[in-house]
Amino acid sequence: MFEQPFLNCAMLFVVVVILTLIVMKPRRSLRHIPGPPSSSWLFGNMIELLLPHQYGDNEFSWQDTYGPVYRIKGCFGEDRLMVSDPCTLKHVLNDTIFARSPQQQQIVRMLIGEQSLLYVHGSDHRRMRAVMTPAFSASHVRALPPLFRRIAQNVVQRWRVEGASESSGVVTDVYPAIHNATLNNICEGIMGFQFNADQDTGKSELGRSIQNIVAISSTRSKLSILAEGGLLYVPPVLLKLALHLPTRALRALHRNRVLGNRVSEQLIKEKYEAMKLGVESEKDLLTALVNANAANKDERQRMTEQEMIEQIPTIMISGQDTTGNTLSWCLYQFAQNPDWQEKIRREVLTMKENPDRELTYSDLEKLTLMNAYIKEILRFHSGLPMSERIATCDTILPLSRPITTIKGEVVTEIPIKKGQSVISATSSYNRLKSIWGGDADVFRPERWLEELPKGQALGPYANLMSFFGGQRACIGWRFALTSMQVLLAEFLCNFTFSFPPNNEVRAAVAVTLIPVTNEGVPGLPICIKSLE
In order of their start, the domains of the chain are 4-151+176-314+381-464 (1.10.630.10)
Residue 210 neighbours by CB under 8 Å, 6+ apart: 183, 256, 313, 316, 317, 320
Please give the average pLDDT of every successive group of 10 residues along the chain, which has 532 residues.
48 50 56 94 95 95 98 94 96 89 76 85 90 90 95 95 86 94 91 68 68 74 84 73 68 77 87 81 82 84 89 83 95 98 97 90 98 98 93 95 95 95 95 93 96 73 88 92 98 96 90 90 94 82
Amino acid at 299: E
474 is in an annotated binding site: yes
Amino acid at 331: L
Look at residue 451 in the predicted model and tell me its pLDDT: 81
Look at residue 280 in the predicted model and tell me its pLDDT: 65
* Coil, helix or strand at residue 435: helix
Q: Please, are residues 513 and 385 in contact by the beta-carbon 8 Å criterion? A: yes
Look at residue 425 in the predicted model and tell me its pLDDT: 96
Distance CA 101, CA 121 (A): 13
Look at residue 274 in the predicted model and tell me its pLDDT: 85
* Coil, helix or strand at residue 181: helix
Q: Please tell me the pTM assigned to this model.
A: 0.91
Distance CA 121, CA 141 (A): 26
| Strand-pair partners of 71 | 81
Q: Please, are residues 191 and 286 in contact by the beta-carbon 8 Å criterion? A: yes
Alpha helices in 67-144 (DSSP H): 86-92, 102-111, 122-132, 138-141
Give the H or E element holding residue 382. Answer: none
Let me know if 65 is exposed, middle or buried by CB neighbors in 10 A (0-12, 13-18, 19+): exposed
